[in-house]
């Protein structure tokens, strides 16, 4: 073969190789990489602390929002598989940590000197217990929560002759009966007492069933000692309550679509939501729109404090981090008192810190933002998620039964919960 | 005697096809083989793989949702394919006739094909809304009741099939137009001399003449129908009561919500095998007939 025939091909491959090797970016030497969520307030928050850190440290920190993807969970999973994880990721849903911990891709943070004492002082013993994994290590830094509560339209509730939104099942159902109406006479209800997503998607149950279950049961777990423990009066009661709501037409059975906010438009009087909604409402509400906040509905015979779902998002260190102690030094600057205050100011979400209301550092903020105070009060009575490796599947099983029983009235609440419990036990037995 | 010089074997052709071969090996052959390997394993991507023998296959045969998703997909095809053929052929015949603004009509009918699937899906979700949807408002205004297009388990898949037909009809109109323009004009002239009506010309000339195109549309729609994903994912999440859970959506859920990679690969192979059987039957029928 004539070697001259190959010359153009060699030239072609050489040119391609040359082009591909030209990066155009100067390779920056950064010591710590940090991914935040892509919420604009959190990007600002992270950038603020990254700049502050970089001014005073030779080991630099590079922060960026999590790359775009279908969901943050998928992006993180792809990064784990490709070993392109950042050193620090802030916005990890607590329910996923156990799976990553068991797979050995997270740094056991309790092995870092001073970590446990810091977290214990900031968040308290109950939180430390909640985030401790099955193997006895701690793989997550409890960072922020958005306790689920009832936000209600004060004028609409006042129209029912009530001063505050009803907080027991029977009173809430009564309000539903009085409020839900066909106002334009077309034969269909167009005003509802509340609204919550009906789609059969596991994470939607964290917005309705799970907070109500925690409220009814004083924060009882779904899974304990690798067994389903939710086949009880509280879970059945929640299903019964919600089934009645949908059967009687007090909530719309329709999935929420883009661009509609039934609560702000006055089509619903209440919504179950987290603290982040306060800044949203403040931004988009009409001047004369007045709202207030109360705890979630509970069974009529409920006594004592009312728990709710915390919606916890935490910070983790991946095992690709070369200097966990240094990364922890940076994180401490974000979650000390000054950091937590800055976070509250920028995002309106609640740091997972105990005694915020009593702490001098937060007083000015609380005075200026009174709507956040009920969420701060509620943050003393919250629960995150069980440390279960297959929690997503557990919630999916509950979601299947939820749809069948609550939305479509195909099963009794007792049967639906019993079926879900049995299916979860089979699932856990497989692992 | 003249001896012909021995032809030298050149590596040039091999080098020229090597980029595609490399692409094929990395992005087609390896994933297929690796997926088949996965069907015998339990793997959540981040933990070490565990050999599970035939467990994934056993689980699949006992999995209520596997059969449900298969039934749903077949139900979708039963509705979608006839709708697709009727509308695409009807519009193609219309566009093939002597009408004004032919080019404009062709562009308009093709427009949904090039619009993003997610955009179309969100738009139809708004149209199908039970309380605020345009379709229900129209029905209500003329005294007919509202329909739970996406909230009634009996209606969810037909609603998705209608939307998919609207989205894809432009593509099949083009295919039918190509087929129609290949039908010799003198067939119609002879029929007209014999006094055939428009309907008779369509039934006895056009349809037999474009039968290969009809079968191609059936095959393409079958393959396209089995890959139904965006529409139920965005509009219904597979509900209500799993009535719109398509095969691909179920694979997606197993793989990327629950991280059951081995089981998802098993489902993928099962569905691929089912598509293969259907296509072989269709192909055999076409070859037999033509």
Question: For residue B207, what are the domain limits?
Answer: 55-289
- Flag whether pLDDT at A60 surpasses 60: yes
Q: Tell whether A366 is within 8 A of chain B (Cβ).
A: no
Token pair for B208 = 């037999």
Give the model's confidence band at A1: pLDDT under 50 very low, under 70 low, under 90 confident, else very high.
Answer: very low
**CA-CA distances (angstroms) from residue A349 to A45, A152, A182?**
12, 19, 36
Within a domain: residue B171?
Answer: yes
**Closest-CA residue in chain A for B137?**
A186
Pairing state of beta strands A308-309 and A382-383?
parallel
Give the model's confidence band at B54: pLDDT under 50 very low, under 70 low, under 90 confident, else very high.
Answer: very high
Q: Tell whether A55 is within 8 A of chain B (Cβ).
A: no
Token pair for B16 = 């020229």
| 8 Å CB contact of A408 and B130 | no
Number of structural domains, chain B? Answer: 1
Within a domain: residue B1?
Answer: no
Q: B192: domain CATH number?
A: 1.10.3720.10
Q: Which of A22-31, B17-26, B45-54, B181-190 has the lowest mean pLDDT?
A: A22-31
Place of tokens 């690796």: B34
Cβ partners under 8 Å of residue A116, min gap 6? A110, A128, A138
Token pair for B34 = 């690796």
Within a domain: residue B36?
Answer: no
Q: How far A401 CA lies from chain B's nearest CA (Å)?
A: 9
Token pair for B113 = 């094909």
Place of tokens 């790359």: A67
In tens, the pLDDT along A263-303 reads 999 999 999 999 999 989 999 999 999 999 999 999 999 99
* Distance separating alpha carbons of residues B142 and B138, to the nearest angstrom: 7
What is the interface pTM, i.e. ipTM, of the complex? 0.80
**CA-CA distances (angstroms) from residue B163 to A63, B112, B127?**
43, 10, 10
pLDDT score for B101: 82
Q: Which of A3-7, A12-16, A358-362, A426-430 has the highest mean pLDDT?
A: A358-362
How far apart are the two ends of chain A, measured CA to CA in Å?
A: 61
Within a domain: residue B16?
Answer: no
| 8 Å CB contact of B241 and A70 | no
Instruction: Provide the 10 A C-beta neighbour count for residue A6.
Output: 14
Cβ partners under 8 Å of residue B160, min gap 6? B76, B228, B231, B232, B235, B236, B244
pTM confidence score? 0.86
Helix, coil or strand: residue B39: coil
> Mean pLDDT score of chain A, rounded to an integer?
90
Chain A residues with CB-CB distance to B126 below 8 A = 257-258
Token pair for A382 = 């919250």
Pairing state of beta strands A313-317 and A141-145?
antiparallel
The mean pLDDT value for A187-210 works out to 92
Place of tokens 């509730």: A157
| 8 Å CB contact of A392 and B257 | yes
Residues A134, A98 contacting (CB under 8 angstroms): yes
Within a domain: residue B28?
Answer: no
Instruction: Provide the 10 A C-beta neighbour count for residue B52.
Output: 18
Place of tokens 């099983």: A397
The mean pLDDT value for B232-258 works out to 92
Which one, of A34, A81, A37, lies nearest residue A313 by Cα?
A37
* Distance separating alpha carbons of residues B160 and B236, to the nearest angstrom: 9
Pairing state of beta strands A88-93 and A32-36?
parallel
Within a domain: residue B266?
Answer: yes
Which one, of A150, A153, A148, lies nearest residue A264 by Cα?
A153
pLDDT score for A18: 46
Q: Where do the domains of chain A lie, and which CATH numbers do they carry?
A: 32-147+311-375 (3.40.190.10), 149-309+390-429 (3.40.190.10)
pLDDT score for A258: 54
Which one, of B75, B91, B226, lies nearest residue B153 by Cα?
B75
Within a domain: residue B75?
Answer: yes
**H or E stretch at A64:** strand A61-65
| 8 Å CB contact of B125 and A257 | yes
Number of residues written out for chain B: 290
How far apart are the two ends of chain B, measured CA to CA in Å?
A: 51
Within a domain: residue B254?
Answer: yes
Point out the residue among B10, B45, B130 whose CB comes nearest to the CB of A254. B130
| 8 Å CB contact of A102 and B47 | yes
In tens, the pLDDT along B193-241 reads 988 888 898 889 988 888 888 888 888 888 888 899 999 998 898 989 9
């Amino acid at each position: 073969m004539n070697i001259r025939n190959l010359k153009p091909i060699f030239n072609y491959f050489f040119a391609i190789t040359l082009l591909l090797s030209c990066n155009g970016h100067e390779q920056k030497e950064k010591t710590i990489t940090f991914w935040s969520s892509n919420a604009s307030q959190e990007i600002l928050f992270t950038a603020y602390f990254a700049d502050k850190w970089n001014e005073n440290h030779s080991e630099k920190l590079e922060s960026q929002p999590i790359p775009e993807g279908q969901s943050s969970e998928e992006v993180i999973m792809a990064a784990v598989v490709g070993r392109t994880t950042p050193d620090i990721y802030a916005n990890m849903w607590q329910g996923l940590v156990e799976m990553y911990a068991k797979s050995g891709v997270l740094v056991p943070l309790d092995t870092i000197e001073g970590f446990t004492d810091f977290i214990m002082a900031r968040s308290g013993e109950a939180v430390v217990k909640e985030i401790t994994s099955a193997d006895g290590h701690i793989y997550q830094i409890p960072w922020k929560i958005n306790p689920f509560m009832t936000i209600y339209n004060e004028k609409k509730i006042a129209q029912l002759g009530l001063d505050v939104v009803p907080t027991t099942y029977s009173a809430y159902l009564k309000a539903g009966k009085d409020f839900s109406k066909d106002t334009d006479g077309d034969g269909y209800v167009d005003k509802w007492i509340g609204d919550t997503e009906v789609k059969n998607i596991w994470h939607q149950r964290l917005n309705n069933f799970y907070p109500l279950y925690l409220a009814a049961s004083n924060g009882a777990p779904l899974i304990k000692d690798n067994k389903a423990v939710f086949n009880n009066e509280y879970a059945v009661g929640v299903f019964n309550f919600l089934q009645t709501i949908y059967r009687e037409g007090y909530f719309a059975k329709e999935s929420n679509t883009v661009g509609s906010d039934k609560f702000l438009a006055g089509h619903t009087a209440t919504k179950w939501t987290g603290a982040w909604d306060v800044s949203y409402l403040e931004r988009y509400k009409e001047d004369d729109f007045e709202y207030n906040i109360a705890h979630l509905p509970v069974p009529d015979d409920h006594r004592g404090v009312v728990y709710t779902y915390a919606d916890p998002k935490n910070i983790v260190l991946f095992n690709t981090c070369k200097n966990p102690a240094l990364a922890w030094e940076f994180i401490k600057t974000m979650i000390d008192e000054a950091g937590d205050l800055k976070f509250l100011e920028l995002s309106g979400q609640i740091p997972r810190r105990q005694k915020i209301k009593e702490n001098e550092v937060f007083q000015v903020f609380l005075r200026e933002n009174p709507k956040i105070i009920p969420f701060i009060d509620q943050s003393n009575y919250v629960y995150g998620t069980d440390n279960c490796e297959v929690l997503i599947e557990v919630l999916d099983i509950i979601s299947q039964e939820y749809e069948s029983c609550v939305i479509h009235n195909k099963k009794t609440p007792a049967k639906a919960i019993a079926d879900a419990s049995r299916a979860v036990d089979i699932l856990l037995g497989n692992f | 005697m003249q001896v012909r010089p021995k032809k030298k074997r050149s590596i040039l052709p091999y080098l020229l096809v090597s980029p595609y071969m490399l692409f094929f090996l990395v992005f087609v052959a390896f994933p297929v083989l690796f997926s088949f390997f996965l069907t015998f394993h339990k793997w959540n991507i981040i933990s070490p793989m565990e050999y599970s023998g035939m467990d994934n296959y056993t689980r699949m045969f006992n999995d209520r949702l596997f059969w449900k998703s298969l039934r749903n997909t077949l139900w979708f095809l039963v509705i979608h394919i006839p709708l697709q053929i009727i509308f695409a052929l009807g519009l193609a015949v219309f566009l093939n006739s002597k009408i004004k603004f032919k080019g404009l009509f062709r562009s308009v009918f093709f427009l949904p094909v090039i619009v993003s699937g997610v955009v179309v899906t969100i738009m139809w979700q708004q149209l199908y809304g039970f309380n605020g949807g345009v379709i229900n408002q129209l029905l209500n205004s003329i005294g007919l009741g509202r329909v739970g297009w996406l909230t009634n388990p009996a209606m969810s898949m037909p609603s998705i099939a209608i939307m998919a037909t609207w989205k894809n009809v432009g593509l099949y109109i083009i295919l039918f137009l190509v087929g129609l323009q290949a039908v010799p004009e003198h067939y119609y002239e002879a029929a007209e001399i014999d006094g055939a009506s428009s309907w008779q010309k369509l039934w006895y000339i056009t349809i037999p003449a474009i039968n290969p195109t009809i079968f191609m549309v059936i095959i393409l729609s079958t393959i396209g129908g089995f890959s139904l994903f965006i529409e139920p994912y965005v509009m219904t999440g597979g509900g209500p009561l799993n009535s719109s859970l398509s095969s691909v959506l179920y694979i997606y859920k197993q793989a990327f919500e629950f991280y059951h990679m081995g089981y998802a690969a098993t489902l993928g192979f099962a569905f691929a095998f089912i598509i293969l059987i259907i296509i072989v039957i269709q192909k055999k029928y076409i070859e037999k007939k033509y």
